[in-house]
């Protein structure tokens, strides 16, 4: 099953409407900068944290550029059947678009 993707422009609108976003980067990357409201679930811990992807509607998944988040989406979709959508371009595209970020521990 192919994983859906969205742009950071689409993500911005979805987040304004309460969408759930999971960031699968490592802790130092997440603390360095992140999309406001993102929940941290490092890629290596995704198998133990499948419940973080459960909720009403799809869960959006982001990393730095889109590769790790795509792997997370594939795993979550295969393991649990949850509706997950990858953010193409990742956090880098978010920053390059000029949107605000959060820093530090969440």
- Residues annotated as catalytic are 63
Backbone phi and psi for residue 22, each to the nearest 5 degrees, phi listed first: -110, 130
């Amino acid at each position: 099953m192919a994983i859906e993707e969205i742009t950071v422009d689409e993500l911005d609108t979805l987040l304004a409407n309460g969408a759930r976003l999971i960031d699968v980067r490592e802790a130092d990357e997440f603390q360095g900068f992140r999309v406001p409201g993102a929940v941290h679930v490092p890629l290596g811990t995704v198998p133990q944290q499948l419940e973080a992807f459960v909720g009403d509607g799809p869960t959006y998944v982001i990393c730095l550029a889109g590769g790790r988040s795509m792997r997370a989406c594939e795993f979550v979709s295969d393991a649990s059947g949850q509706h997950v959508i990858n953010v193409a371009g990742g956090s880098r595209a978010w920053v390059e678009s000029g949107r605000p970020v959060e820093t530090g521990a969440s």
